[in-house]
Amino acid sequence: MLKNYWYVACTSRELGSEPLGRIICGEPVVIFRQDDGSVAMLRNVCPHRQAPLSMGSVDGKVLRCRYHGMEFNAQGRCTHIPSQDVIPPRAHIKSYPCTERYGLVWIWPGEHALADAASLPSLPWREDEGWNGDIAQYFHVKSAHVLMNDNLLDLSHVAFLHADSIGFDSRRLEGDPLQVTVEDAYVSTRRVFKNTMQAPAHKAWRELKEPIDRTQLAEWRPPCFVNVLARNENDEAQVDLRADHFITPETEASHHYFIAMARNFRIDDEALTQKLDEGARQVHSEDVEIAEAQQTMKALTGGAPDMALKADKAVTAAHKILARLEAAELRGHEPVQAESVS
């Protein structure tokens, strides 16, 4: 797993006044919001008796352990131990660089010195007043994170797995060929279906006079982010939906899956927001179901290799980039941040 990258730890909406415990890249993390609203992240283990600090409570700037009341600030410094005055150095715990933006809370699980808020992915549509970016979803998935990564790098699955909602006629997979672009730390796939019908779900969002041109553009960046643009357009209008996918490893066999969605149409229509949210939840549940089933099968068959198809050009390219970046991280080189190459 790449460590020197920003990962999404939770959505802003998930983090209220109670601390939130989550395992990220194999490490137990507690996320909390101080009284000024800023987020902090610490190792989720009290050094006293290893109770999870996420069971505790926030008091102003500090997080108090629920068990025996030890207190820690945002830097992981222990600031109070009941029944004693001296605070020994080993009472301090690890903190993680973190920030909040785009309605998402971000963690840098790697080296402190390398963390750089400027290297967050750029998601301008999530801050543009002409867009509605209210939807942010979270799924806990019992599969290796690479399975969800690969899912998003081969959107031909949409024709089959999501046939009833956002699918398209699978016969067009040959007629409308896939354009794959590979750069140093970037892979994109683009497919434009000319003169086609709107997908059932798209029609419900904003029905256009048919036929339309439908664009499916997926832009992948390490460690595991995929920005997907779904566009329907004709002479009447251009309707864009952007679904940004963030995949955060939990353990070797599980991950956190976040999807933030933004649209440039009917942006004040809250009923539509709810309908989109529900529809997307159904779609992403199908992805979760298949990833978990793959994981089960891989466990059963002892990890036999996958078979790359022509449609997997982007998957293969991304795996090569990841292997190179992981090797570089092991050698101690600087990471290649997503934004630096896009």
Binding site for its own copies (CB under 8 A): 23, 28, 44-45, 47-52, 55, 64-69, 81-84, 88, 90-91, 147, 150, 154, 156-157, 159-161, 170, 173-174, 178, 289-290, 293-294, 296-298, 300-301, 304, 306-307, 309-311
Cβ within 8 Å of residue 162, ≥6 positions away: 283, 286
Nearest to 67 by CA among 84, 80, 55, 85: 55
Least distance between its own copies and beta carbon 3 (Å): 18
Least distance between its own copies and beta carbon 299 (Å): 10
Among positive and negative, which fits the CA dihedral 156, 160, 162, 164? positive
Tell me the C-alpha distance between 268 and 134, whole Å.
10
CB-wise, 74 or 81, nearer to its own copies?
Answer: 81
CB-wise, 51 or 197, nearer to its own copies?
Answer: 51
CB-wise, 190 or 266, nearer to its own copies?
Answer: 190
Asked whether 107 and 26 are in contact (CB, 8 A), the reply is no
Least distance between its own copies and beta carbon 247 (Å): 16
What's the residue count for the chain? 342
Least distance between its own copies and beta carbon 317 (Å): 16
> Is the bond into 89 cis (omega within 30 degrees of 0)?
no
Least distance between its own copies and beta carbon 200 (Å): 18
Asked whether 6 and 121 are in contact (CB, 8 A), the reply is yes
Burial profile 189-225: b = 16 or more Cβ within 10 angstroms, e = fewer? bebebeebebbebbeebbebeeebebbbbbbbbbbbb
Cβ within 8 Å of residue 265, ≥6 positions away: 205, 206, 237, 239, 240
Least distance between its own copies and beta carbon 309 (Å): 6
CB-wise, 55 or 272, nearer to its own copies?
Answer: 55
DSSP-derived secondary structure letter, 273: H
E strands present in 160-300: 179-183, 186-196, 212-221, 225-233, 238-251, 254-263
Least distance between its own copies and beta carbon 132 (Å): 31
The tokens describing 61, both together, are 């700037």
